[in-house]
Each structure stands twice: as C-alpha cells, then as structure tokens.
Structure 1
Amino acid sequence: MSAFLYGVTLQWKLDIRSKSLLITCYVVPLLFFAVMGGIFTSINPEAKNTLIQSMTVLGVSTGALIGLPPSLVEIYGSDIKKVYKANGVPLYLGLISMFLSAFIHLLIMCAIIYIVAPIAFDAAPPASFPLYFGSLAVFIAASLSIGCVLGLSVKNQSKLTMISQVIFLPSIMLSGIMFPVALLPGFFKIAGKIFPATWGYDMMADDIFHFGSLWPLITILLTAAILCVLLLKRLQKT
C-alpha cells in the first residue's frame, strides 16, 4: 500500500512539471474562465447562476479528454511499458496513478473556479457544497475514465489528438453550458446524452440530488473501467 501511495505521489509531482498537463488542466481552463466568464455574464446576466458549473464542465472535459490520453500514450505506447514488465511492475499501476493524479489536479482547478467566480464575476455559488463537490467527483471520474480508454486504445499521437477533439467538441457544444439544451434539435439532444459533460452539468446545476443524472455517469465509469481492464490485458500480451 505504501508503494502504491508513493507511486501516486511521485506521479502527481511529475505531472506538476508536465507542460502538457499544466496547460490542459490549469492554463487553458482558467484562461477560458477568465475571458469568457466576463463575456457570458455581460451578454446574459442569468449566466451568473450557472457560471461555476459551466466553466467547471469545460475545464474537466479539457483535462480529461485532451490532457490525460497523451500522457498515457507516453507510458503504454513507448519503452516505458517494457520497463514496467521487466521489473515486475503491474501495468495497471501507471494507469491508476495517472488517473488519481489527474483527478487531484482537476479538483484543484475546479476549486479555484469555485472560489474565484463569485469574487470576480458575482457568480452564484451552488446551494449545497457537499452535493456539488460530490457530483463533481463523480463527473471527474467518469470523464477521466473515457480519457483512459482513449490513451490505452490509440497509440498514435496525431490520431489520438483527432479522436480526442471529435469527442471533446460535441460534448461541450451539446452539454448545455454554451446555450440551453432546449434550443437544440431533437437528434442533438439525444446525442448529447452520450457524453458525461451533459449529465455532469445537469447534476451540478441542480440544487437537489436526482438519481437520473447520476446513473448515466456511473454507467459510463463502469463501462470504461471494464474496457480499461481488457485493454491492459491486451497490452500485457504485446
């Protein structure tokens, strides 16, 4: 257990020095928040009621879908994987340590938005602190699980970037953070429910817990976990 905790701590420290993770987990989300927060609240004053949730969804999706997968490819698509196998280190250790490290980084980024938004843009904080951060934790885990599947299944960096963008862009556009989902055509409303961003936004924006928004995220998380196990077994054989 101590070795595992040491591995997670070491990975977290390495990620702090990683420019790609720094950009996708902190710089891009917080810069977008600083610029678009003022624009959103100026165009539509009602946006203050959901500014924290919308900027959080964008930041988590950016870090999980664009930041995490390339970091996994650096391990499982390179000679580092051979080092793991040669030294008897389980392949899942790298995946779990990066998952937990990214989880912590994204949680810190979301906490910054939570604290700064009411001060900088007079945004309304969520009504229930425990409910909000509980919902946020589930949303981060579900989003990172998809990033893990991408990082384990796609070995080519350029192809991975393209696939990540294909998932990231519609998940943001169809989630309701840019404009109300009610304005979307029926097909796009249904398509948006495939992505965790839609359910995460709904759950964090609600003042009351609704299981209807939780179970899709749990389903996505469990499905992705099963896929990760299968992908790791395939990598073990190569």
Structure 2
Amino acid sequence: MPKPSLLAPPELERSAVVANNAMNRERGLTGVNSYARELGVDLLAQLAHRPAPSWLDLCSGEGRALREAASALPAGAVLTGVDLVGPLVPRPAPPALEETVASVSSWTPSRTYDLITCVHGLHYVGDQLGLLSRAASWLTGDGLLAAHFDPESVRHADGSSAARPALAALRAAGWEYSTRRHRLTLRGGRAVRLPFRYLGADPAAGPNYTGQPAVASYYAAA
C-alpha cells in the first residue's frame, strides 16, 4: 500500500473532505436528529442546576442546539460554538451565545466549561488526540466532555491501526469509551498528556463507521 501524503492543518482544512463537511450542520438539542440522541446525554440536565452554566460546542455547525439551549437556561449562561465555517446564513445570536469561526485545532478558550461536546467533529480533525488532550483542561472540576471518536482513524506512521494503544492511553487518562456508540466521555477537568506525537492527516482515508468520508490521523510514539 503506498504511503499517503500527510497534510498539516491549513492544507487539511482546505481539503474537500473537511471544507465541505455537513455532518453536524442542522442537528438540534433534542428529538430524532439531536445532540441528546447522538450523545446519550440530557444536556440541559447537565447544566440546569448550575447558577451560571457554561457549554462549549466544538464543530458546532449552524449552532441550532446552542440556540435552543440559550432559551432554556438561566440568565448568566455562557454558550460558545466553534466551527471552521460557522453558520452559513448569519443571524443575530442570543445574548448568551458566542459563535466563533475558527479551527478547533488552534483555537483556545479563555475560560473553562461545565459541558464540552463534539458531535462527529473529530472525524474531520487532524490531531484528534491533541484536541482531546487540550479539551480535557478546558473542563471545570466536575464538568463533562462528550465526543464521538473512531479509534480506527488513529494510525501508526506505517499506516497500521493504532486504535488499541490510543484507547488504552485515553482510558489511562480517565476517559470512558463506548464501543457500540463510538462515544468518549470524561468527567472532571485535568491536564492530559498522551504518549503520541502527531505526524499529519490523510483526508483520503475513505469512509469511517458513519459511512461518510473521514480523516485518518497519523502518530508516532512520543
């Protein structure tokens, strides 16, 4: 098998697979096509008991779920959506909502959050393990991070699967993984250092478990 040409973040984000991704653009908060269904979490219940709840949604698409949550949460809530493209049709955001157009690979928040989500977004991120490590430190002490993750998208430098060592390292750092649902969860913010060095990504890896074309992330041992 020929070795793929691995791309750095700027080139990867211009690739057809990433730039044209529509995986999470229209998903709402609850219902059939929703965050609640995809993540198996009652998101409002995670936030409602807090006096000033905060939610960061990575790869937020149109931000529908955040907008719906804004009307249901108390005054003082902080909702942040980060997406490479952002809403395709700009519209006024509720006071609680900040919509940021940026790459999640380089963006960093100025605060911590009670809830962090990434619904199918990691499939289009080059350094998936790096983003997960960084996001762990963005959680409050009792916050929850929930994200979809495909271990088979993590590769060694020679192209072989690094799924088992990647999952072992994530679990050792405190993550829980549902194989059936392809969901990672982490409770409680912390510093995470995973034993991998990012090499680059292949946007031509083909479909993943969703049936949609996705990115493969290549790593060497740190």
Task: Sort the TM-score into its range (normalised by shorter chain).
Answer: 0.3 to 0.5
More strand by share: 2
Q: Which has the higher contact order (CA 8 A, sep 6+)?
A: 1
Q: Relative to total residues, which structure has the larger helix share, 1 or 2?
A: 1
Query: Which is greater in Rg?
Result: 1
TM-score of the superposed pair, with normalisation by structure 1: 0.31
Q: TM-score, normalised by structure 2?
A: 0.32
